[in-house]
């Protein structure tokens, strides 16, 4: 779907946390996962800025690992603070989506 960028902005960080929470992974793989999911407009640069923020806020553990070609790759995994943040994200998301569903169904 096109033109999701604005709407996706606030939730993309949560999506990245969820992906990292599944398994330790790196920027390009995260981007590809999001693209495959249907968020085709998400570029690696955006994911890079999110990862940088997660690192600065102490939510991830970063490990440099050698890659077959090119420089070593930075791999990201959630730490305890990251897992708490992810739980908070899903709680907020469920609150938000349940309210919006209600609105759509015409309830109060």
Partner 1 sequence: MGIRDIIEGKKHWRAHVARVKALPPDYRIVYGEIQKYFFKVGPVNLPDGRLLSGIVDFFEEGAAAGRPVLELVGHDVAAFCDDLIKDSPTYTDIYRASLGGEPGKTS
Q: Which is nearer to partner 1, 24 or 44 (CB)?
A: 44
User: Among residues 10 and 45, whose Cβ is nearest to partner 1?
Assistant: 45
* Shortest reach from residue 50's CB to partner 1, in Å: 9
Q: How far is the CB of 47 from partner 1 (least distance, A)?
A: 10
The gap from C-alpha 40 to its chain's centroid, in whole angstroms, comes to 14
Between 61 and 74, CB nearer to partner 1: 74
Quote the least distance from Cβ 100 to partner 1, whole Å: 26
By the criterion CB under 8 A, which residues form the site for partner 1?
27-28, 43-46, 48-49, 52-53, 56, 67, 69-71, 73-74
Judged by beta carbon, residue 72 or residue 91, the one nearer partner 1 is: 72
DSSP label at residue 3: S
CA–CA distance, 26 with 2 (Å, rounded to integer): 25
Which residue is associated with the tokens 């708490």? 84
Q: 93: alpha, beta or left, given left = phi > 0 and alpha = psi -120 to 50?
A: alpha
Task: Find the length of the chain.
Answer: 108
What is the torsional sign of CA 58, 48, 84, 25? negative
Q: How far is the CB of 89 from partner 1 (least distance, A)?
A: 19
């Amino acid at each position: 779907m096109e033109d999701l960028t604005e709407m996706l902005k606030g939730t993309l960080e949560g999506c990245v946390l969820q992906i990292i929470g599944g398994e330790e992974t790196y920027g390009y793989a995260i981007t590809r996962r999001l693209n495959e999911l249907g968020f085709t407009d998400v570029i690696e640069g955006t994911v890079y800025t999110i990862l940088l923020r997660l690192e600065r806020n102490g939510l991830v553990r970063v490990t440099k690992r050698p890659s077959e070609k090119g420089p070593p790759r930075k791999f990201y995994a959630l730490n305890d603070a990251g897992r708490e943040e992810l739980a908070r994200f899903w709680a907020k998301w469920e609150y938000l989506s349940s309210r919006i569903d209600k609105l759509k169904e015409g309830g109060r």
